[in-house]
Amino acid sequence: MRTVLLVGLLLPLAACAQDTPPAVQQTAETYLKALTSTDDSGRTLLLGGVTLDSRMIEVDSWRIVKRDWVKRETGGLKTAASLMADLDKAGRRSLSELLKKGGSGDDLTVVEFTKDEAARLIAPTRERAQAFEKTLPVLSYVARVTKELYWHPKNPVRALLQQAGTTGTYDLVVYHFTVETTEGPRKQPRTWPLRILRFTTSGGLDTGWKVLPASDWSPE
């Protein structure tokens, strides 16, 4: 029998705007400032570290348009690991020809997938992804389990869960902002989501406040 400890909370926009902790606001602003500066230190706030793709992102200006919401969740690490393993096994079965280059074993080896290949993976595994989303909605959101992005080899949440192990519980907090930036010679405005999260476990793991990175093929 699977035991799940789960607490979810969604705060309205007004409450979120007023109650954003200074550390969260500082994390968001430090990261955004790094995108307009030669000082890259703020990029180290990305969950999983700085990648080649993230080093190349530059903007001319930025502003936080909205502080949309905050979500909180407490869940079991054993449950999270089990749900991820089920999803990975379903992916391997559904598209085994893509996974031959990843080797064998019970766990899905992370390999390079194109966007089209990832789409082919998620279609037949949708049932497992939806079960993950229903059981641990906030963790599934940051791991993008219902999207092609879940299969991206640089998805930092997969590595984070492996580090967390399977004993005890986790606490996850996510703040969602909408940011507008201007980029390029025409100073075209673009809006995109900025998510600041913190993941802690009963075993002592604490990421601190981090920026959830986007994929190189999608702003989500």
Q: What is the pLDDT of residues 98-151, one digit of tens each?
A: 555 454 444 445 555 677 776 676 677 888 999 999 999 999 999 999 887 887
26 and 82 both lie in a single domain: no
- Alpha carbons 212 and 203: distance in angstroms, whole number: 22
Q: What is the pLDDT of residues 151-210, one digit of tens each?
A: 777 889 999 999 999 999 999 999 999 999 987 778 889 899 999 999 999 999 999 999
The three-class DSSP label of residue 179 is strand
pLDDT, position 59: 82
Query: CATH number for the domain including 179?
Result: 3.10.450
- Please give the residue range of the domain that contains residue 27: 7-74+172-211
Q: Is residue 93 part of a domain?
A: yes
* Total structural domains within the chain: 2
pTM score, two decimals? 0.80
DSSP 23: H
Q: Is residue 203 within 8 Å of residue 164, measured between CB atoms?
A: yes
Q: Is residue 1 part of a domain?
A: no
110 and 185 both lie in a single domain: no
Q: Is residue 5 within 8 Å of residue 75, measured between CB atoms?
A: yes
13 and 70 both lie in a single domain: yes
84 and 190 both lie in a single domain: no
12 and 81 both lie in a single domain: no
Q: Is residue 68 part of a domain?
A: yes
